[in-house]
Amino acid sequence: MKKTLTQLHVLGIVYALLLLVMFIMPLFSVPSYSVIQHTTSQLGAQGAPHAWVMNVTFILLGLAVIMETALHLKKQPLASILLFVFGTLLIAIAFFRHAPIDNIAYRAWEDQVHGVLATAIGFVFTFFMVTLAFILPDKEAKVVALMVAILTTILSMMMLILPDVVGMLQRIIFIYAFGYLIVFFSRQKQLKTTLETEEEHN
């Protein structure tokens, strides 16, 4: 079973689902929902139509990250811990949901917890990228990791000062962040396969 799992690009499959949900589900959400202005969290908000679709996607993303980490990133303990936390936080935000867009009753404490979790996700991912900039052996890979960390920081700050385009900014972050993770895990898998092949020949 383990061999079968390692041959699957689990995160890639869930990433494709994420893209579909991010850009198609708004058509089935509340009429006032805007891809430019509203985040994916608001697709899964309290009282939102079909919110379960976005929340299940969050859970699948978290599980995929945890699974890929367990399979392909065993020799980097700090990076592994950060990704396990990242995946766990993604799962958690599905259960502590954002406030609704429309003016309807909601659980304020749950929205506050969601905000804390969402902020933590950004911090953990950025810290993970900075960590990679130090531990990756290839100079070019170090630079790319650092650039991703810087870009994430800049876009996150822009989300605070440009609320009218926060949905667009968040989607940009999701697209390149999970895209980067897919490439990263693929390279870790290739490296692991190469090392195992060399050990067999020796």
pLDDT in tens, 113-148: 999 999 999 999 999 999 999 999 899 999 999 999
Taking a C-beta distance cutoff of 8 angstroms, is the pair 24, 43 a contact?
Answer: no
Q: Which tokens sit at 68? A: 């890929």
Both tokens assigned to 1: 């079973």
Q: pLDDT digit string (tens) for 184-199?
A: 999 888 776 665 565 5
| Amino acid symbol at 150 | I
Q: Give the phi and the psi of residue 143 in degrees, each rounded to 5.
A: -65, -45
C-alpha atoms less than 13 angstroms from C-alpha of 1 in its C-beta half-sphere: 0
pLDDT tens profile 55-100: 999 999 999 999 999 988 888 899 999 999 999 999 999 999 999 9
Q: What is the pTM of this model?
A: 0.90
Q: Which of 63, 61, 73, 70 is nearest to 188 (CA)?
A: 73
pLDDT the model gives residue 190 = 79
